[in-house]
Amino acid sequence: MNKILLMILQRFGLGLLTLFVVSVIIFIGVEFLPGDIAEALLGQGASPENVAALRKKLGLDVPAHTRYVNWWLNVIQGDFGTSLANGRDIAELIRVRLANTLFLAVVAASVSVPLAILFGILAALYRNSLYDRSVNIITLGAVSAPEFLVAYVLILYFSVTLGWFPSLSNVDADTSFFERLHRVTLPAVTLTGVILAYMMRMVRASIINLLASAYIEMAHLKGMPKLRVIIRHALPNAWAPIANIIAISLAYLVVGVVVVEVVFIYPGLGQLMVDSVSTRDIPVVQACSMIFAGTYILLNLTADIVSICTNPRLLHPK
Amino acid sequence: MNNRLLEIRNLEIDGESDEVWHEIIKDLDLDLDRGEVLGLIGESGAGKSTLGLAAMNFVRPGCRIRGGTIRFDGQELTAQSETTLRKLRGVRIAYVAQSAAASFNPAHQLIDQFSEIPVVHNVKNRQDAEADAKGLYRRVLLPDPDAIGYRYPHQVSGGQLQRAMTAMALSCRPDLIIFDEPTTALDVTTQIEVLTTIRDIVREFNTAAIYISHDLAVVAQMADRIMVLRYGELVEEATTREMMSDPKMDYTKSLWAVRSFKKETETAATEINPVVKVDNVTAGYAQEDILKNVTFEIHRGQTVAIVGESGSGKSTAARVITGLLPPRLGNIQFNGQVLPKSFKARNKDQLRHVQMIYQMADTALNPRQRIRNIIGRPLSFYLNLTGQKREERIRELLSLIELEPDLYIDRFPDELSGGQKQRVSIARALAAEPEFIICDEVTSALDQLVAEGILRLLDRLQREFNLAYMFITHDLATVRAIADNVVVMLQGEIVEQGPKTDVFSPPHHEYTELLLSSVPEMDPDWLNELITHREKHGVMASTSTS
């Protein structure tokens, strides 16, 4: 058991290291963008003196590496700083946006994950049947369509023509749970369409891969019914690959949400980040990217832990 | 004909590769009576496994039964629905696979995999099934039969898994068990025990069996009657004794004669200095020592065979000599000079003189390189040959390994047979113009006739270039054929070493005796006599019970 704990700690440490590297890359990346927030705020007609004054006020006259170190020192203490654009507390700013984004992601995930596993298993079970082929074609189509296109098509039919759902998904603190659910339906469906196809195909592939193993043939030769072979003999060995597929898809869900949020004007983290990049609001961009990167790392860590914990060799050592 | 259990007539099975169907089984008949054991013999690709599985009317994906009838206990199987067949499988016909390690599901305990057969088929309830499992585990001589079932497959050794699988096949007391090479993956000493268990079980329960193997000596011990297959066709069929004493067909005779190759002269050490000396080496991984104080020498023109069971440290010795695993203690000397411990610290010349040939030519050759590049690479790396000179040398090497240069130089490894691939591996090792070659189980993955060709080639090259070979193998027949000196290893230590004639003639060390006596012989009475002999003298039953 200690061995498993050690492996998990190791993965966790690597995750933190990745997070650090990501923060450096983001910081440098934003530094390279032409212009800074002082120019963005004051507009093109501003005099160089005014710009310099604003820079000094915002602390931008300090060299980049000092700013970076200071930023880290604050983050470690739990302080993400204040937005350069409007002076609001970033932690507060992000809290609401993050909650919105997670809500959308969770809704999309809770629909797509079970469906993907079910469709994937069925497709593997009835390989090359009519069902398998039609599911393949449909999902392949869904994967190929860019998500903004899917989003606009959905808006066209379900909100413009039929009027079932709103085309803008703006929510605020007062919106009730069911009202929220109603408003995020279209963005959630868009996201589901994109990741469902991918996940389902990967589940299908990993199950088919497993079905070629000797112990599956043995289960057939023992006269086990087809369903039992899948559920009892294939699935327990499939959790590791499936967990990986789900983790990557969910990570994509959280990150890929940017485009969808912009299309539906949904007040989530993606929107916030896009806005902040255009105003060169470095602390906000930095905070958002850290959250995105953290989510990615956390999900992959979870997948790792699931693969470790479902491996009988590690679970039941000699 | 009430006693007839299985009757296959005009069976034809096709297999698909690259969207073309070709015949795997051609118009085959097979009869089996109750309680009878039928041996199926043939080289790889002869269709043995396909025929064995067809007895359950089962074909692997990519195969189909094109014609013929399979009658089991009066019931025509080819006409049955999948559900009817399913109820037959595991209950009345059971299967024991070649690799028990791969055929047990890694996610479940052994006893779960045993019990699900009687439980799913409504033969027994779970409790009775578990009790029965324990009884059968005891019957197949598994250690700690009441508890071993609760282990996972990876917690049990290969020989034990094979017994557990035999026990599992018996769970519903079937009328017929198909044994598909059940001992091929085992060490000789373990093989004996599993063979004995299988034979006793088959007799005790009066189960009919189809015993599939490429090893004639093994089949001779197990079967009442033998069918020889080749390219999906029947070559010859007779009772075991008749077949052993008087094979009719040329192909059968060639199979019988396979082990006839023997090195012409034995080479004694000619010079005082050996080419390679392994000097008091201790090496291993993590905290564990795999090799313990191992010392042996290999002289020019000599073949030293390293013999031992899996886990005895044979391959580790090779890794230490090549510098892949730096030893903890001791050193490796080459022509009297101490070699750096790690290959990284060795110079090109030191690397050039120690070459290796691997067991699996499939994985040792880069599938994306043509033969020209595979053999040409060491020529340019070690000898700085380029252009025309390199091309000429490649052709020369191909002729040396008896492959027509024009025909083969532009091929990829996939376009060669197993034996040809191994020949290319030999050419690659030769290209470096080494003094010493390590051959790691180079013939184990090959059919006997092909393997013999490889041994002959290696022997010829040795005489031509005065090469020193270190031959790692678990196959004592190979050792008898090619070795000058023999080193016997057990659990990382050398038990005995010396000239082949000394090691292989009595008096033996106790372990050497066990190894030698465990090699199956063609005599159908061999196993009986051996068991009687061992029971009388109380020879250790097993050395590998991890």
Complex prediction ipTM: 0.78
> B89, A213: Cβ pair inside 8 Å?
no
Q: Locate the chain B residue with the closest alpha carbon to A310.
A: B107
Which DSSP string do the residues of B453-469 spell out, in sequence order?
HHHHHHHHHHHHHT-EE
Chain B residues 54-73 within an 8 A CB cutoff of chain A: 56, 58, 60-61
Interchain pair A214, B61: CB under 8 A: no
Q: Residue ranges per domain, chain B?
A: 4-256, 276-505
- Range A214-220, long-range pairs (CB < 8 A, 24+ positions): A214/B97, A214/B99, A214/B102, A214/B103, A215/B102, A215/B103, A215/B104, A215/B105, A215/B106, A217/B60, A217/B97, A217/B103, A218/B95, A218/B97, A218/B103, A218/B104, A218/B105, A219/B105, A220/B58, A220/B89
B108 contacts in A (CB within 8 Å)? 232, 236
CATH of domain B276-505: 3.40.50.300
pLDDT at A257 over 80: no
Q: Which pLDDT does position B265 carry in this prediction?
A: 64
Residue A226 lies in a domain: yes
* B262-293: pLDDT as tens digits: 666 666 666 677 899 999 999 988 778 889 99
The whole-number pLDDT of residue B545 equals 39
Interchain contact, B103 vs A217, CB within 8 Å: yes
For B382-406, what is each residue's pLDDT tens digit?
999 888 999 999 999 999 998 999 9
Whether residue A165 contacts residue A185, with contact meaning beta carbons closer than 8 Å, is answered with yes
What is the arithmetic mean of pLDDT over B218-235?
A: 90
Look at residue A312 and tell me whether its pLDDT is greater than 80: no
Residue A149 or residue B180, greater confidence? B180
Smallest CA-to-CA distance from A273 within A115, A112, A97 is with A97
Looking at the complex, report in whole angstroms how far the Cα of residue A209 sits from the nearest Cα belonging to chain B: 13
Q: Is the pLDDT of residue A15 over 50?
A: yes
Q: SS3 of B166, please?
A: helix
Cα distance between residue B22 and residue B461, in whole Å: 38
Asked if pLDDT for residue A117 goes beyond 70, the answer is yes
Structural domain that includes position A251: 98-279
pLDDT of residue B479: 87
Domain total in chain A: 1
User: Does the structure show a pLDDT above 70 at B218?
Assistant: yes
pLDDT above 50 (res B544): no
Strands (E), chain A: none
User: Among residues A141, A270, A129, A268, which one has the least CA distance to residue A204?
Assistant: A129
Q: Decide if A215 touches B, using CB distance below 8 A.
A: yes
Which among B58, B152, B154 is the nearest to A221, CB-wise?
B58
Element (H, E) at B209: strand B208-213
pLDDT at B377: 93
Kindly list the residues from chain B whose CB atom is less than 8 angstroms away from the CB atom of residue A220: 58, 89
- Alpha helices per DSSP H over B432-537: 448-465, 476-482, 500-503, 510-518, 526-537
Question: For residue A33, what are its two tokens?
Answer: 């963008």
CB atoms A223 and B121 under 8 Å: yes
CA distance B107 to chain A (A): 6
**Nearest-angstrom CA–CA distance, A40 and A108:** 36
Angstroms from B314 CA to nearest CA on chain A: 24
CA distances from A283 to A52, A75, A258, B291, B330 (A): 19, 10, 18, 59, 60
The Cα–Cα gap between B37 and B131 comes to 28
Quick one: fold of B4-256?
Rossmann fold (3.40.50)
A38 domain-assigned: no
Nearest-CA distance B59 → chain A (Å): 10
Q: Of all residues in chain B, what percent carry a pLDDT higher than 90? A: 41
d(CA B207, CA B172) in angstroms, rounded, equals 12
Distance CA A98, CA A85 (A): 19
pLDDT above 60 for A311: yes
Distance CA B83, CA B77 (A): 12
Tens of pLDDT along B51-92?
999 999 998 888 888 888 999 988 888 888 888 999 999 999
Return the pLDDT at B156: 85
CATH fold match for the domains B4-256 and B276-505: yes
- Evaluate whether residue A289 is within a structural domain: no
Beta sheet of B354-357, edge-to-edge order: B354-357, B436-440, B468-473, B303-307, B485-490, B493-499
Let me know if B477 is exposed, middle or buried by CB neighbors in 10 A (0-12, 13-18, 19+): middle
Give domain status of residue A301, yes or no: no
Lowest model confidence (mean pLDDT) among A61-65, A127-131, A300-304, B78-82 = A61-65
Of the candidates B99, B116, B154, which has its C-beta nearest A313's C-beta?
A: B154
Give pLDDT, residue A9. 87
Q: Given a cut of 80, is residue B125 above it in pLDDT?
A: yes
Point out the residue among A219, A221, A232 whose CB comes nearest to the CB of B56: A221
Residue A151 has pLDDT above 60, yes or no: yes
Q: What is the pLDDT of residue A129?
A: 84
d(CA B305, CA B458): 14
| Alpha-carbon gap, residue B365 to B529, rounded angstroms | 44
Out of A215, A224, A225, the one facing B103 most closely (by C-beta) is A215
In percent, the amount of chain B with pLDDT more than 70 equals 95
Chain B residues lying within 8 Å of A233, measured CB to CB: 105, 107
CATH number of the domain within which A257 lies: 1.10.3720.10
Give residue B2's pLDDT. 65
Q: Evaluate if residue B542 carries a pLDDT over 50.
A: no
Q: Would the pLDDT of B1 be above 60?
A: no
pLDDT in tens, B327-349: 999 999 998 889 999 998 999 99
Q: Is A102 on the interface with B (CB under 8 A)?
A: no
Q: Which residue has the tokens 């990167």?
A: A293
- The pLDDT value recorded for residue B541 is 47
Indicate yes or no: CB of B155 within 8 angstroms of CB of A316.
yes
